[in-house]
Amino acid sequence: MRLAELSERSGVPTATIKYYLRERLLPPGERITTTKAEYGDTHLRRLRLVRALVQVGKMPVAAAREVLAAVEDESLDHHMRLGAAVWALPHDPAPTEETPEITAARGTADELLRRLGWQYGLKLGPVSPAYGMLVNALAALARLSYPHTVENVLPYARIAGELAAADLDLVEEYETPAEQVEAAVALTVLLEPVLLSLRRLAEAEESHRRFRADSS
The string of pLDDT tens digits covering residues 59-105 is 889 888 988 888 888 888 888 888 888 888 888 877 878 899 999 99
Supply the pTM of this predicted model. 0.81
CA dist 114 and 138 (Å) reads 16
Question: What architecture is the 1-90+174-211 domain classified under in CATH?
Answer: Orthogonal Bundle (1.10)
Residue 215 has pLDDT above 90, yes or no: no
Give domain limits for the chain.
1-90+174-211, 91-163
Q: Which tens digits make up the pLDDT trace of 57-71? A: 888 898 889 888 888
Kindly give the residue spans of alpha helices, DSSP state H, lying in the chain. Answer: 3-10, 14-22, 41-51, 61-71, 78-87, 100-116, 119-124, 129-143, 150-171, 177-211
Model pLDDT for residues 138-197, shown as the tens digit of each residue: 999 999 999 999 999 999 999 999 999 999 999 999 988 888 988 999 998 889 999 999
Q: Please tell me the distance from the alpha carbon of residue 58 to that of residue 63, in angstroms, as a whole number.
A: 10
Question: Quick check: 43 and 6 in contact, CB under 8 A?
Answer: yes
Q: Per residue in 23-65, pLDDT tens? A: 999 988 888 887 788 999 989 999 989 988 888 888 889 888 9
With 80 as the cut, is the pLDDT of residue 125 above it? no
Give the total residue count for the chain.
216
Q: Is pLDDT at 126 greater than 80 in this prediction?
A: no
Confidence of residue 214 (pLDDT cuts 50, 70, 90): low
Is the pLDDT score of 119 beyond 50? yes
DSSP code per residue over 17-64: HHHHHHTTSSPPPEESSSS-EE--HHHHHHHHHHHIIIIIS---HHHH
Sequence-distant (6+) residues with CB within 8 A of 150 are 108, 111, 112, 115
pLDDT at 216 over 50: no
